[in-house]
Amino acid sequence: MANSNHIKNDLFLRALKGETVQRPPVWMMRQAGRYLPEFMAIKEEYDFFTRCQTPELASEITVQPIRRFGMDAAILFSDILVVPQAMNIEVQMKSNFGPYLPNPIRNQKDLDSVIIPDVNQELGYVMEAIKMTKEKLNNEIPLIGFAGSPWTILCYCVQGQGSKTFDKAKELCFTNPVVAHALLQKITDTTIAYLKAKVAAGVDAVQIFDSWGGMLSPTDYETFSWQYIQQIIDALKDNIPVIAFGKGCWFALHTMARSGASALGVDWTCSARNARYLSGGNITLQGNFDPARLLSPPAEIKKMVHQMINEFGKDKYIVNLGHGILPNIPLENAKAFVDAVKEYKSAF
């Protein structure tokens, strides 16, 4: 169990427990990233996976936004694709293109080369980055660890790159479900071991990102995504709070709410009212500001954030974006978002 009871600002952890708070906590998905000039300076010197694999760099990048804006939680700088890398699947990060996997998994023969690694050996650099980050944070705020959902990882492993439709990933699932499920299970087993190692290294909560869950119909979502996320939640929920975030997965909020997760992420296409209704009204929700809305003037951002908090309610709620922050967001706008939450006074 992480030593969360010593954390000075434990607002985020209290919201995950559903406790009554003065104001909701705030952090932003992808907060350690491309909108920060200090991040861009490191990016110019080191390529993507070097940044992920060098604990000094990963921990520095993790705390950059905290120094600048004082969010209520830090999220470890890393990438969901370090997991397939550790499973013996080559992943490159091409500039102006994104992830590229030269040898996608399309059949049983491809699958045979995929391993369930010793996570402490293959991903030891992540655990080192966690320990360094915890030192830098000095128990001021909690640290979040994360992983991609098995379905989202499968999407990249089978497609070989990003996609608007992930048609090849779906094709594998629907024409060769045996291979698809075997790959999903290998990813699931690896992810459980990986997140358990992160907990042992000191993270205070974990988030599962199902970025491409919304690509699936509700029935296929249950079959190819949710049942694997549920395995991960079951393996971790007794030791650490788990946040499940499925982009475009409003249709699964009812199922997700009964999963044992501590909180559910919501994207900006689902209103606060619908999210509360669909999730049964008892679980902590996180979200759901449209990341592009951070391009609005700061005064307007503040107004919209206060309105958003009033709609979700200040308790059982974590203020966040509905997806990752965009690279072209002005710093003062990011600051307005965080400040709006800190200045929040309940209207009731």
254 is in an annotated binding site: no
125 is in an annotated binding site: no
CATH of the domain at 238: 3.20.20.210
175: in domain:
yes
- pLDDT tens-digit series, residues 102-151: 999 999 999 999 999 999 999 999 999 999 999 999 999 999 999 999 99
pLDDT of residue 2: 46
pLDDT of residue 211: 98
79 is in an annotated binding site: yes
Q: Which residues of the chain have pLDDT under 50?
A: 1-4
6 is in an annotated binding site: no
34 is in an annotated binding site: yes
**What's the number of CA atoms in the CB half-sphere (13 Å) around residue 139?**
7
- How many domains is the chain partitioned into structurally? 1
323 is in an annotated binding site: yes
347: in domain:
no
326: Cα separation from own chain's centroid: 15
71 to 50, 79, 245, 247, 289: CA distances (angstroms): 26, 20, 19, 22, 16
123: in domain:
yes
164: in domain:
yes
Nearest to 75 by CA among 343, 333, 325: 325
Nearest to 147 by CA among 98, 76, 53: 76
273 is in an annotated binding site: no
Helix, strand, coil % in the chain, rounded to nearest 5:
50, 10, 35
Query: Domain range spanning residue 328?
Result: 4-342
Element (H, E) at 207: strand 205-210
pLDDT of residue 346: 72
348: in domain:
no
pLDDT of residue 280: 98
Q: How many CB atoms lie within 10 A of CB 307?
A: 13
145: in domain:
yes
211 is in an annotated binding site: yes
In sequence order, the β-bridge partners of residue 146 are: 207
In sequence order, the β-bridge partners of residue 161 are: 100
Nearest-angstrom CA–CA distance, 327 and 261: 30
Residue 157 backbone zone (phi > 0: left; psi -120 to 50: alpha; other: beta): alpha
21: in domain:
yes
Nearest-angstrom CA–CA distance, 75 and 108: 36
- pLDDT tens-digit series, residues 232-269: 999 999 999 999 999 999 999 999 999 999 999 999 99
pLDDT of residue 205: 98
